[in-house]
Amino acid sequence: MYRTHTCGELRPTHIGQRVSLAGWVDSYRDHKGVLFVDLRDRYGKTQVVFSPENGESIMAVAKMIRPEDVVAVTGLVVRRPEGTENPKLQTGDIEVRVEEVRVLNKSLTPPFHPSAKDLPGEEVRLKYRYIDLRRPEMQQTLILRHRMVKIMRDYFDELGFIEIETPILAKSTPEGARDYLVPSRIQPGSFYALPQSPQLFKQILMVAGFDRYVQIARCFRDEDLRADRQPEFTQLDLEMSFVQAEDVMQVIDGLIARLAKDLLGLELSLPLPRLTYDEAMERFGHDAPDLRFGMELVDISELASATENEVFRQTVARGGRVRGVTAPGAAAVLTRKTLEELSEYVVHDFGVKGLSWIKVESDGQLVGPVGKYFDGDFRAKLLEVMQAGAGDIMFFVADRKEAAGKALYGLRRRLGAELKLYDPSRMHFSWVVEFPMFEFDEAEGRWTAMHHPFTSPRPQDIPLLDTDPGACRAQAYDLVINGYEAGGGTIRIHDQALQQKVFQILGIDQAAARERFGFLLEALQYGAPPHGGIALGVDRLVMLFAGRDNIRDCIAFPKTQRAVDLMTGAPSPVDPKQLRELGIRLL
Ligand code: ASP
């Protein structure tokens, strides 16, 4: 027997018992010939004590023990001497006096210590992932992930959802990212695509009459990775028949409330707030706004173009806007140098021409590059619309409406954190609804689907498909948490003629549609119920619920920004023989 208890289990009630523990050597201290070792496992740490009183043979073994060795001990549970208790450990009132010890396995000197305060760079952590995963906070995050997924499964089971697995070796799906391809050996020259999502299969499951489908699904997208993206990721994927947008959102409202309660002890009031896309863009310049703080965008085009400022006047004359935000209390915090950096940031990251600012002095005077344009009557009006007062800084961007919005969104996000306008441990959940159906791709000169091509327009907007596709709104909804898009879904088109029309606008001709999604189009003709669904990003949800800022910390074996697994070395070259079998020759 290796152990009678775990390293997190012993309490004063165990005093006097003879126990066995097994685990990793977290640390050791030699105190006047007595050796104190913290033994660690997933459940906690326990102090075990090697003392010459218990025999020289024990001491001989004890002296060879090093960090990360795997050790089993047997001994007596005793109360720690008064004054040496460790309130930080759950086992901190007791220690185990070792009577027998076995080194089960020696460890090489580890590249870093799981308990060290200073961690090495992330590359080292990823290469030695098994050491990194020994760290209690990494284990806590993965345990939280396990609990989250379990709550999801229980919740959907209670609501009558059925979990159904869909293929990994699949055909290209319509999310619009680049596919990962898998060559077929048996059909040389043909490829499977790893699914970007189970989208088509779940719609077909509705045609098949399953009514309520759910899956914890792995998805693959070959995109250039951003900080919170991974080439493979996990989605909570679901689909429902005979529903409208509100029904799907209600189901997710219930899930989020359950997760918040069970994982964080938070009582949410439902329904979660809903914001239209237009409102989100108007008030925050973005479709996934962080609603933990105010600092809403204000349009001052009218006022600004009445001043003598040429840039403002011309921008508005050309159909652009002057938009602004007020950063409360920023005057005392932001130095001139920071203001210059902020200006560089919006110009560089958001491609606008510039950022103007005006500081409100304690006597109400306006100071800053464009302050002088707002004197007399203008000053009072500006302060009123911007809701600005002494100590605040107002920022302005004059550009096309969306460009100005995006830049101010970036600025707002940054200043919100820098000026500590919210409590970072607070969570805020909301919905953004009624997205546009289409986005115009300037580079390619054509419409693309904002969500995916199976998304249904709002019934009242169907006539707009012929006259003004850009104005057409979708039955689409995104779940937003703390400024992150945590998931999104739509009501689907279940009518063949409407689907054809949407394909037409997207420039997908009949042959291409048949080639890519023919099986779905065919299925839709054999009695498809009205249906809709959603997918939430599980990795991202874990990140937000665990209060972490790195998605890689929420995945056991993640990949780097360059899509490499540093531990296994994937991807890697393969044997020429394997390529020959696949009929592949490398360029
Ligand atoms: N398949 C979509 C996605 O992965 C989600 C959905 O529409 O249900 O983004």
| Per-residue pLDDT, 24 | 98
| Cα torsion 109, 114, 119, 123: sign | positive
Q: Which atom of ligand 1 is nearest to the CA of 532?
A: 8
- C-beta 23 within 6 A of ligand 1: no
- In angstroms, the Cα distances linking 319 to 232, 302, 400, 417, 436 are 42, 12, 7, 32, 21
Distance 148 CA to ligand 1 centre (A): 20
pTM (2 decimals)?
A: 0.94
3-state helix, strand, coil in the chain (%, to 5): 35, 25, 40
| Per-residue pLDDT, 407 | 97
Q: Which residues contact 200 (CB under 8 A, 6 or more apart)?
A: 171, 173, 174, 517, 519, 520
Confidence of residue 128 (pLDDT cuts 50, 70, 90): very high
| pLDDT digit string, tens, across residues 365-377 | 999 989 999 988 8
Phi, psi of 523 (to 5 degrees): -60, -35
| Per-residue pLDDT, 224 | 83
Distance 535 CA to ligand 1 centre (A): 5
The per-residue pLDDT of the chain, averaged, comes to 95
Phi, psi of 58 (to 5 degrees): -65, -40
Q: At what angle do helices 510-523 and 496-505 cross, to 10 degrees?
A: 150
Three-class secondary structure of residue 218 per DSSP: strand
Nearest to 285 by CA among 145, 409, 105: 409
Pocket test for ligand 1, best of 233, 237, 238, 456 (most atoms within 8 A of CB): 237
Retrieve residue 116's tokens: 């060290």
Three-class secondary structure of residue 240 per DSSP: strand
Pocket test for ligand 1, best of 221, 249, 451 (most atoms within 8 A of CB): 451
Q: Which atom of ligand 1 is nearest to the CA of 533?
A: 8
| Per-residue pLDDT, 225 | 72
Please tell me the distance from the alpha carbon of residue 299 to that of residue 446, in angstroms, as a whole number: 29
- C-beta 475 within 6 A of ligand 1: no
Distance 238 CA to ligand 1 centre (A): 9
- Mean pLDDT along residues 468-478: 97
Confidence of residue 516 (pLDDT cuts 50, 70, 90): confident
Nearest to 490 by CA among 507, 503, 474: 474
Please tell me the distance from the alpha carbon of residue 253 to that of residue 271, in angstroms, as a whole number: 6
Distance 249 CA to ligand 1 centre (A): 14
Q: How are beta strands 484-491 and 476-481 bridged, if at all?
A: antiparallel
Q: Reading across the β-sheet that carries 356-360, which strands appear in turn?
A: 298-299, 321-327, 393-399, 356-360, 366-367
Phi, psi of 493 (to 5 degrees): -80, 130
Please give, one letter per residue, the 3-state secondary structure of 22-67.
EEEEEEEEEECCEEEEEEEECCEEEEEEECHHHCHHHHHHHCCCCC
Confidence of residue 50 (pLDDT cuts 50, 70, 90): very high
| pLDDT digit string, tens, across residues 284-293 | 999 999 999 9
Pocket test for ligand 1, best of 173, 175, 200 (most atoms within 8 A of CB): 175
Retrieve residue 562's tokens: 């360059």
- Per cent of the chain over pLDDT 90 is 93
| Per-residue pLDDT, 43 | 97
Neighbours of 192 (CB within 10 A): 18
Angle at 255 between CA 249 and CA 256, to 5 degrees: 85
Distance 533 CA to ligand 1 centre (A): 8
More confident residue, 539 or 228: 539
Neighbours of 414 (CB within 10 A): 16
Distance 98 CA to ligand 1 centre (A): 57
- C-beta 58 within 6 A of ligand 1: no
| Per-residue pLDDT, 415 | 97
Q: At what angle do helices 136-158 and 245-264 cross, to 10 degrees?
A: 140
| Per-residue pLDDT, 376 | 86
Asked whether residue 262 carries a pLDDT value surpassing 90, the answer given is yes
Pocket test for ligand 1, best of 213, 218, 452, 493 (most atoms within 8 A of CB): 452
| Per-residue pLDDT, 177 | 87
- Per cent of the chain over pLDDT 70 is 99
Retrieve residue 378's tokens: 């203008």
- C-beta 490 within 6 A of ligand 1: yes
Distance 426 CA to ligand 1 centre (A): 27
Distance 288 CA to ligand 1 centre (A): 16
| Per-residue pLDDT, 226 | 72
| Per-residue pLDDT, 228 | 74
Q: Which atom of ligand 1 is nearest to the CA of 219?
A: 4
Distance 509 CA to ligand 1 centre (A): 23
- Mean pLDDT along residues 124-129: 98
Distance 292 CA to ligand 1 centre (A): 26
| Per-residue pLDDT, 496 | 86
| pLDDT digit string, tens, across residues 291-336 | 999 999 999 999 999 999 999 999 999 999 999 999 999 999 999 9
- Mean pLDDT along residues 542-546: 97
Residue pointed to by tokens 């969570």: 427
303 residue type, one letter: L
- C-beta 488 within 6 A of ligand 1: yes
Asked whether residue 176 carries a pLDDT value surpassing 90, the answer given is no
Please tell me the distance from the alpha carbon of residue 46 to that of residue 431, in angstroms, as a whole number: 46
Yes or no: say if 355 and 368 are a contact pair by the CB < 8 Å rule: no
Yes or no: say if 59 and 65 are a contact pair by the CB < 8 Å rule: no
Yes or no: say if 103 and 71 are a contact pair by the CB < 8 Å rule: yes
Quote the distance between the C-alpha of residue 365 and its chain's center: 43
**Burial annotation 269-283 (CB, 10 A radius, 16+ → b, else e):** eeebebbebeebbbb
- C-beta 175 within 6 A of ligand 1: yes
Asked whether residue 175 carries a pLDDT value surpassing 80, the answer given is no
- In angstroms, the Cα distances linking 211 to 66, 153, 204, 241 are 58, 17, 11, 5
**Burial annotation 506-533 (CB, 10 A radius, 16+ → b, else e):** bebeeeebeebbeebbebbeeebebbbb
Q: Output the DSSP codes for 502-551.
A: HHHHTT--HHHHHHHHHHHHHHTTTTPPPEEEEEEEHHHHHHHHTT-S-G
| Per-residue pLDDT, 172 | 76
Distance 161 CA to ligand 1 centre (A): 17
Please give, one letter per residue, the 3-state secondary structure of 447-474.
EEECCCCCECECHHHCCHHHHCHHHCEE
| pLDDT digit string, tens, across residues 403-449 | 999 999 999 999 999 999 999 889 999 999 999 999 999 898 999 99
